[in-house]
């Protein structure tokens, strides 16, 4: 395993001591409080679990602007996106030095964290525009990440935090949600040193399965971390519980025992393409993984990013030595009818488009919602059955 980003030891911000956490929860009831956005709550969850090491809280305005513009804080720490707590109106806590951040995603809005306030700052329209353009490479409000980023307010509350719980992730996904420090502990128990991570917000079809296997074999790795996003997605994406069930079935039936760890993390998808790919690398380094698979249109949406922009950013914009984790660069993978197996397309220049089995996401959804089986070359039958049951339930 490799060292965390920016420090020798992981520094999760979740308060692990039960008595101290209970005391802080009681204190939170009497503190000035503010209802956070889903994004702010997810950032707290990620800092709580150690995924955003070495951050100690929400970024000040100067750091956020610096990170957006050049991926470093004012002190020189490499970080790919600003980690913020943005609100529309902070007047209820404007003079407070210590506040409770309430969780919008849990009934009753319990405090998810206590913030020691270091700054409350309003961002200008030009500053919001600059951050949006740098993070997402577009200002188009139809981009789901752009829309979400600009819908939560322009006032940033900055300061160190103590995290009191993991929102709904621990209760809704007890078998899957894991913190960075829990993943490190599990890898240590398994004796895994070289580990390749696979990021997913979708179910895994044959091409994804084979991509993990290719990376595992080519790198001579000890294990694969399948790490799925459990937070908020755009409309039309498949819910986390359905993805989880389909991935578990695939691993159970088609991977060697004790070679794959299935876990998830509590974060809302940014759809920020290249910048989000770098963020994915940061928090996979914090789990101890040595490699991250970055494929075609990693963390992208629509046509906002070039097919391999998420790979080139590591060569062109990430400074040498800024990260210890290595990138396993994957090409588009598909089932070859010529070779009767899934291949990386760049390795087979003799193939034409007709030599591959391709299905668009729209076509897959249409087939499943009609109760039609997917081609076995595209999806394992047992995985397709879980997805078909889900889509059929939407029609009833």
Residues annotated as catalytic (active site), given as ranges: 201-202
Length of the chain as a residue count: 396
Give the list of residues 6+ apart from residue 28 with CB closer than 8 angstroms, or none. Answer: 100, 111, 114, 164
22-50 per-residue burial string, b: 16 or more CB within 10 A, e: under 16: eebbeebeebebbebbbbbbbbbbbbbbb
Determine the Cα–Cα distance for residues 44 and 184; give it in Å rounded to an integer.
20
Cis check: omega of the bond before 54, within 30 degrees of 0: yes
Q: State the Cα torsion 206-209-212-214 to the nearest 10°.
A: -50
Phi, psi angles (nearest 5°) of residue 225: -100, 105
Determine the Cα–Cα distance for residues 63 and 47; give it in Å rounded to an integer.
17
Determine the Cα–Cα distance for residues 132 and 128; give it in Å rounded to an integer.
6
Give the list of residues 6+ apart from residue 255 with CB closer than 8 angstroms, or none. Answer: 209, 213, 224
Tokens at 332, concatenated = 């588009």
* Strands of 8-63, DSSP E: 33-35, 57-58
Q: Which of 396, 362, 394, 51 shows the shortest CA–CA distance to 242?
A: 394
- Whether the CB-CB separation of 200 and 284 falls below 8 Å is answered with no
């Amino acid at each position: 395993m490799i060292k965390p980003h920016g420090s020798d030891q992981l520094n999760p911000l979740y308060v692990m001591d039960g008595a101290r956490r209970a005391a802080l929860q009681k204190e939170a009831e009497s503190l000035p409080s503010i209802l956070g956005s889903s994004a702010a709550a997810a950032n707290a969850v990620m800092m709580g679990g150690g995924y955003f090491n070495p951050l100690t809280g929400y970024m000040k305005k100067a750091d956020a602007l610096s990170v957006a513009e050049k991926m470093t804080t004012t002190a020189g720490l490499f970080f790919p996106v600003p980690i913020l707590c943005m609100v529309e109106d902070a007047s209820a806590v404007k003079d407070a030095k210590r506040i409770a951040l309430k969780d919008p995603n849990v009934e009753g809005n319990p405090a998810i964290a206590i913030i020691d306030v270091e700054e409350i700052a309003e961002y200008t329209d030009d500053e919001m525009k600059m951050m949006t353009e740098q993070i997402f490479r577009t200002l188009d409000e139809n981009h789901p990440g752009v829309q979400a980023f600009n819908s939560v307010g322009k006032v940033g509350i900055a300061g160190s935090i103590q995290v009191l719980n993991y929102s709904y992730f621990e209760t809704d996904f007890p078998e899957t949600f894991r913190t960075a420090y829990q993943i490190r502990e599990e890898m240590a128990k398994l004796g895994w040193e070289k580990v390749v991570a696979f990021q997913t917000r979708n179910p895994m079809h044959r091409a994804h399965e084979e991509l993990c296997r290719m990376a595992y074999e080519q790198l001579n790795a000890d294990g694969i971390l399948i790490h799925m996003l459990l937070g908020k997605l755009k409309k039309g994406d498949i819910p986390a519980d359905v993805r989880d069930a389909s991935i578990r079935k695939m691993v159970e039936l088609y991977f060697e025992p004790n070679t794959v760890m299935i876990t998830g993390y509590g974060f809302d998808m940014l759809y920020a393409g290249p910048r989000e790919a770098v963020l994915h690398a940061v928090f996979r380094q914090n789990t101890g993984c040595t490699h991250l698979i970055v494929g075609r249109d990693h963390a992208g949406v629509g046509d906002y990013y070039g097919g391999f922009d998420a790979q080139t950013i590591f060569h062109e914009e990430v400074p040498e030595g800024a990260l210890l984790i290595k990138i396993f660069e994957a090409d588009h993978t598909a089932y070859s009818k010529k070779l009767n197996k899934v291949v990386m397309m760049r390795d087979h220049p003799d193939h034409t488009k007709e030599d591959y089995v391709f299905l668009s996401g729209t076509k897959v959804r249409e087939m499943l919602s009609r109760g039609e089986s997917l081609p076995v070359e595209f999806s394992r039958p047992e995985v397709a059955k879980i997805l078909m049951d889900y889509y059929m339930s939407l029609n009833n």
